Chain A
Amino acid sequence: MLFKKLLRTARSYKAQFISMLIMITLGVGIFLGFNMEWRTIEYDTSRFFENTNYADYRLYSAGGFTKEELEKIVAIDGVDAATRYLTVNLDVEGSKNKALAVDVSENFTVSTFVVISGNEYDPEGDGVWLSDKFAAANGISLGDEISLSFRNSAITGRVSGLIKSGEHMICVADNNQLMPDYNTFGFAYISPAKLKAAVEERLVSGYAEELIKNGMSAADAAKASKTMLSEEAKTEALDKIYAQINLISDMGKAELEEAVKAALGKTIMVTSKDDHIVYKEAMGEAEEGKTMGSILPVLFLAIAILTMVTTMHRIAAKEKQQIGTLKALGFKNRRILLHYTSYGLFIGLTGSAIGVGLGYLVCKAIMSENGMMGTYFDMPDWTAAMPVFCYPVIALTVALLTLISYLSVLKQLKGSAADALRPYTPKESKRALSNV
């Protein structure tokens, strides 16, 4: 019977109940939305980074790294994995203004990719593993041939897989490009074997040109260039092109720098992931979300709670004579308190429940493939995540709202049943009356 009363009372105070519900829904929704947003960025990107072995550090050398140097880096205590790495922006042949960052992860232990469709990675493979977004934007399918200009020769291959990579989660050509545009710029991986072949081919054709310039016939030059180039020359050319070592390590930057210097006997430029555009931007977005998530929602929650305080107080005051009637009938204070306190619990639970839904939607509006971040981040998985502290905050909010209605009613219950039966008079007017 009293539950019916609860629902009907809610209906009779429709405006108040709805405004309280809206405030709580907004408060909880905005609180959760922003906090889920940054947590989701952290959660999804870190999983993606882990799955694609995102590099903690990148070593740069204009002259490239030799295999022996890589081995020395791998041997450093505290380096978990390292690979020689190349990333170079190459124009797509046969189309204007289209380019790809072409990457090679020599031993494929660091800065790798996940295959969305097509063939898995093959270190000997002759194909091209292409960004699925670039492929989609340019109508390229698995098996299509793609050709990239590599100085005056070309790297050509069939698309053998469509992929995503943490290394290119934010796929921009350079720091001047603000937003990815897969129409004009994407990324691709080729195998180290294919890179080696391309480098050698270029070396050979360069040498042949040299011979022709010196008076050799084209046919002779082609033959001669193939046989006369030493293995050392080929290796040297390849070493030169691996201008980067990407590695995974928990070491601090200074510590690593020292260790690298000791291992290679020279100072090498080391950049940490904090300076890599992808990690930097992702963490920046998360930080921004954290700031948003700590000011705006707290404000909203505070307003929601204040609304609850004034509205519940007003409702309890209006219900005072009904409270008195229930008392006169013989209902115990505990029972009446429970009844009216359930209003707060009801509003708190309903508001929070809708708020959780709203928060999820807000989070999804930002962090999903079709959301705001969907055009910025290129990730395979968009799973919403909630910071752990949100659970106690919501529980506390509901508890607080319940407490508010409890206290509002307790105030009206004070004193005898006869007191409760008298209409509510605010303190001020009571004082004013007694002064008359």
Chain B
Amino acid sequence: MEIVQFDNVSRIYVSGDHELRALDRVSFTLDEGKFVVILGPSGAGKSTLLNLLGGLDSPNEGKITVDGRDISKLSDNELADYRASTVGFVFQFYNLIPTLTAYENVNLVSEISANALDAKDMIAKVGLLDHLDNFPSELSGGEQQRISIARALAKNPKILLCDEPTGALDSETGVMVLKLLLDMAKEYGKTIVVVTHNQNIAKMADTVIRVKNGKIRSIEEQSNPLSAEEVEW
């Protein structure tokens, strides 16, 4: 079942008198429940693509359909609803609210999502029950990212969108977090899209989309992706 469709999507940044096609007429589809890696060098347009998919930004051209709904021409409020109901983000720098505790950060999504999952359960799932009342500044990078995964999943979204989720972590912690992320996505049956420039992560994906200079270079289906243990980090 297709959950995402990009149809000739372009995102053009205008600064002064020069235009930059960060995404240039991109088309692809993603299947539900899959683990998708978007791979490419820095500046390729990966984040731009993910932002469009996540409704953080709107395309200049083309059509984006998610879960049967065209999101390319939504108003600000409609986009906010879309983000609240359909997607969960995991950012490179965690983006936790520093003045809220771990529990409150996760529980925050209950204010915007009607079918939010229990915050405490989610924190238990990421193994941080004894850090419920810690503020982000009292947590390590890996722990913060685990809380942000709990937060993304607590919304109970269709799709998890992760922009360089291990980019700020040391490789050992990164692998641990990545494994947790994938296990959770599998357990909850989520489609998960991970943006990275790390080739190793790509080895674990069902689908690998290679991006360069705002264009898709290749889309590769891997019938036998490796598990985290099998990858040589």
Q: Decide if B57 touches A416 in the complex (CB within 8 Å).
A: yes
- Residues of B contacting A416 in the complex (Cβ-Cβ under 8 angstroms): 51, 56-58
User: Any chain B CB within 8 A of the CB of A21?
Assistant: no
- Residues of A contacting B98 in the complex (Cβ-Cβ under 8 angstroms): 12, 322
79-100 of chain B: CB within 8 A of chain A: 79-85, 89, 91, 95-100
Q: Decide if A4 touches B100 in the complex (CB within 8 Å).
A: yes
> Nearest Cβ in chain A — how far from B156, in angstroms?
12
> Nearest Cβ in chain A — how far from B95, in angstroms?
4
CB contact under 8 A between A418 and B111, given known A12-B99, A328-B95, A331-B80 = no
User: Any chain B CB within 8 A of the CB of A421?
Assistant: yes
Bound together, the chains give a CA A334 to CA B16 distance in angstroms of: 30
Q: Decide if B56 touches A417 in the complex (CB within 8 Å).
A: yes
Bound together, the chains give a CA A128 to CA B77 distance in angstroms of: 83
Number of interface residues of A (CB under 8 A): 27
Q: Decide if B100 touches A325 in the complex (CB within 8 Å).
A: no
> Nearest Cβ in chain A — how far from B188, in angstroms?
18
- Residues of A contacting B99 in the complex (Cβ-Cβ under 8 angstroms): 4-5, 8-9, 11-12
User: Chain B 147-178 against A: per-residue CB contact (8 Å), 1 yes, 0 no?
Assistant: 00001000100000000000000000000000
> Nearest Cβ in chain B — how far from A154, in angstroms?
81
Q: Decide if B112 touches A330 in the complex (CB within 8 Å).
A: yes
Main secondary structure of the interface of A (DSSP, over half): helix
Among B80, B83, B85, B107, the one with the most A-chain Cβ atoms within 10 Å of its Cβ is: B80
Task: Give the A-B pair count, Cβ closer than 8 A.
Answer: 85
User: Chain A 1-23 against B: per-residue CB contact (8 Å), 1 yes, 0 no?
Assistant: 11011001101100000000000
Among B76, B82, B96, B99, the one with the most A-chain Cβ atoms within 10 Å of its Cβ is: B99
395-422 of chain A: CB within 8 A of chain B: 416-419, 421
Q: Decide if B111 touches A417 in the complex (CB within 8 Å).
A: no
Bound together, the chains give a CA A261 to CA B111 distance in angstroms of: 84
Name the residue on A nearest B58 (C-beta).
A416
Q: Decide if A333 touches B109 in the complex (CB within 8 Å).
A: no
Bound together, the chains give a CA A9 to CA B91 distance in angstroms of: 22
Q: Pick the contact of B51 from A8, A330, A332, A418 — CB < 8 Å?
A: A418
User: Any chain B CB within 8 A of the CB of A133?
Assistant: no
16-68 of chain B: CB within 8 A of chain A: 16, 51, 54-58
User: Any chain B CB within 8 A of the CB of A436?
Assistant: no
User: Any chain B CB within 8 A of the CB of A95?
Assistant: no
Q: Decide if B97 touches A328 in the complex (CB within 8 Å).
A: no
- Residues of A contacting B100 in the complex (Cβ-Cβ under 8 angstroms): 1, 4-5, 8
Name the residue on A nearest B163 (C-beta).
A421
Q: Decide if A1 touches B107 in the complex (CB within 8 Å).
A: yes
| Interfacial residues, chain A to chain B (CB-CB below 8 A) | 1-2, 4-5, 8-9, 11-12, 321-322, 324-334, 416-419, 421, 434
| Interfacial residues, chain B to chain A (CB-CB below 8 A) | 15-16, 51, 54-58, 76-77, 79-85, 89, 91, 95-100, 104, 107-109, 111-113, 151, 155
